[in-house]
């Protein structure tokens, strides 16, 4: 499968304008090759100058694409950090509430009919909140996977277009640009998405197993983040 098709079939539709414009860059390359002076009637020096000027233009376009990808990634990463902080807070409140409820059940062995009904309503409300948090964790996890996929697809896109540039123009400037720019770019080097995914998996573990200590789960989060 061609990378253009691979990218199109795996990108997140809502973000389609935020990916590297691989197809546009590819057309730019092919057009430059078609417009290049014929080697049969043109001096080699002239051809080298032509491709040198084109490389300057092409790399400038790559700079713009990289800036677009980086900015979007950092924006989404900041959103994820805020969302995770809110989820973590909500989870801690629910866990503490459930714990307090369990302790109260042990301390008080009998209730009046009114108290029993009141407690039943409170617990039902707590369970509803818990279901909402589970759903929020699931949605957040999916968004993290999409963001992780965004990182991978853009890295592949930049790598392939730089390789194609060097092959068509018989140059190494694409590879040099890739090494100096993409391999140190925030969207590629950041490990924050992976950390969030591991933390969400631990949070989900807490939600599934009622008897898990929340603070033990926090310790697990710290351990996984360091891995």
Grouped pLDDT means (10 residues each) for the chain, 227 residues: 93 97 97 91 90 97 99 98 89 74 54 49 55 86 96 98 97 97 98 92 61 44 45
Other beta carbons within 10 angstroms of residue 51's beta carbon come to 21
Enter the pTM of the model.
Answer: 0.80
Q: How far apart are CA 107 and CA 103, in angstroms?
A: 6
Per-domain residue ranges of the chain:
3-190
- Buried b or exposed e, range 172-202, using 16+ CB within 10 angstroms: ebbeebbeebbeebebbebebbebbbbbbeb
- 158 phi and psi, to 5 degrees? -65, -40
Q: How far apart are CA 210 and CA 201, in angstroms?
A: 15
Helix (H, G, I), strand (E, B), or coil: what is residue 212? coil
């Amino acid at each position: 499968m061609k990378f253009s098709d691979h990218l199109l079939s795996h990108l997140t539709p809502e973000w389609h304008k935020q990916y590297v414009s691989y197809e546009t860059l590819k057309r730019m390359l092919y057009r430059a090759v078609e417009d290049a002076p014929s080697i049969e009637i043109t001096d080699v020096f002239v051809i080298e100058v032509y491709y040198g000027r084109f490389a300057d233009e092409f790399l400038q376009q790559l700079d713009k694409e990289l800036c677009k990808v980086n900015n979007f990634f950092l924006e989404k990463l900041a959103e994820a950090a805020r969302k995770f902080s809110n989820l973590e807070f909500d989870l801690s409140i629910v866990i503490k509430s459930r714990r307090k409820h369990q302790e109260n059940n042990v301390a008080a062995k009998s209730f009046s009919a009114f108290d029993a009904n009141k407690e039943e309503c409170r617990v039902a409300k707590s369970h509803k909140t818990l279901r909402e948090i589970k759903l929020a964790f699931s949605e957040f996890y999916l968004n993290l996977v999409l963001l992780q996929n965004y990182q991978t697809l853009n890295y592949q896109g930049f790598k392939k277009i730089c390789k194609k540039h060097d092959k068509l123009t018989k140059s190494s400037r694409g590879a040099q640009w890739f090494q100096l720019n993409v391999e140190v770019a925030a969207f590629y080097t950041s490990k924050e998405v992976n950390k969030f995914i591991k933390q969400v998996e631990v949070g989900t573990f807490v939600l599934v197993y009622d008897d898990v200590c929340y603070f033990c789960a926090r310790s697990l989060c710290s351990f996984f983040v360091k891995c």
